[in-house]
């Protein structure tokens, strides 16, 4: 059984005090233990959040990191810096990073390798823009991104990687993909991983859906055989909403 994973991506929201207030509220809610619960916060909040969530089962992740360990990269954060803070996850290749900050398939691959080298669980994002979807290029685009992202990884590294399928047109728009459409693409992702490695590796890899996921619609996604959780934006910003997502995913693991 693949353990479901619900990861909140706060993007550029919440000060350190806001983040701590959120975590303290969330700790008061009984979260199911059969779901992997992750909060990916702005860099400044990470040390305090790691400390506040010790022994809670809540994982803390960064939203980005550089692939080099150090150097003249003004404004960047390295994997060793995150490692020292105690972060466990790092989002790589989110569509906003690709769109606004020139993230490429090559840098996604380098960052994924660097994340594994430093013991992180990478959450690697793939997905098509609206124009590509309308032209019927979704499969081609996503397959290409998957192949590029995981080139050179070992089977063990691949098994520890989380893939997030996020159709770019559904992020922050309120327009979620249908569960059936999302399943079709997530199934294709799993088949692509099987082609790169083997079926046993693909069977262990967890694939999330992301894009306007809410407590009201998450159940339909979790019912799909190849969807193992969600990478959530806006609905992760309030403790009760985020907790509702985690509870909805409970016992939703796929075999």
95 is in an annotated binding site: no
119 is in an annotated binding site: no
- Residue 147, helix vs strand vs coil: helix
61 is in an annotated binding site: no
d(CA 114, CA 108): 10
Non-local (6+) Cβ contacts of 74 within 8 A are none
Of 253, 254, 157, 171, the residue nearest 210 (C-alpha): 171
CB 70 within 8 A of CB 60: no
Non-local (6+) Cβ contacts of 156 within 8 A are none
11 is in an annotated binding site: yes
233 is in an annotated binding site: yes
| 166: annotated active-site residue | yes
d(CA 12, CA 21): 16
Considering the candidates 52, 128, 132, 166, report the single residue annotated as catalytic. Answer: 166
174 is in an annotated binding site: no
- Residue 230, helix vs strand vs coil: strand
Write the burial class of residue 214 (CB in 10 Å: 0-12 exposed, 13-18 middle, 19+ buried): middle
172 is in an annotated binding site: yes
Considering the candidates 94, 132, 157, 183, report the single residue annotated as catalytic. Answer: 94
- The pair phi, psi for residue 123, each rounded to 5°, is -110, 100
The sign one gets for the Cα dihedral 116, 61, 138, 106 is negative
| 116: annotated active-site residue | no
Both tokens of 127, joined, read 């997905």
Segment (H or E) for 90: strand 89-92
Binding site: residue ranges?
Answer: 9-11, 172, 212, 233-234
Binding residues for substrate: 9-11, 172, 212, 233-234
Query: What positions carry a catalytic annotation?
Result: 94, 166
């Amino acid at each position: 059984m693949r353990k479901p994973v619900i990861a909140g991506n706060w993007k550029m929201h919440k000060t350190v005090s806001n983040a701590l207030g959120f975590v303290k509220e969330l700790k008061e809610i009984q979260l199911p233990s059969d779901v992997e619960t992750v909060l990916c916060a702005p860099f400044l909040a990470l040390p305090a959040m790691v400390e506040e969530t010790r022994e809670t089962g809540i994982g803390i992740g960064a939203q980005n990191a550089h692939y080099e360990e150090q150097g003249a990269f003004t404004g960047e954060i390295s994997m060793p810096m995150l490692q020292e803070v105690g972060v466990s996850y790092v989002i790589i290749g989110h569509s906003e990073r690709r769109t606004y900050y020139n993230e490429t398939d090559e840098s996604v691959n380098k960052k994924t390798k660097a994340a594994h080298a430093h013991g992180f669980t990478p959450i690697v994002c793939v997905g098509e823009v609206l124009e590509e979807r309308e032209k019927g290029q979704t499969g081609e685009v996503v397959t290409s991104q998957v192949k590029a992202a995981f080139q050179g990884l070992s089977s063990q590294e691949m098994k520890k990687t989380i893939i997030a399928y996020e159709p770019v047109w559904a992020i922050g728009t309120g327009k979620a993909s249908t569960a059936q459409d999302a399943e079709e693409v997530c199934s294709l992702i799993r088949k692509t991983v099987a082609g790169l490695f083997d079926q046993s590796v693909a069977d262990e890899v967890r694939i999330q859906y992301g894009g306007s996921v809410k407590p009201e619609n998450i159940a339909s996604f979790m019912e799909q055989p190849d969807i193992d959780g969600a990478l959530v934006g806006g609905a992760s910003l309030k403790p009760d909403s985020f907790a509702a997502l985690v509870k909805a995913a409970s016992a939703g693991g796929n075999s």
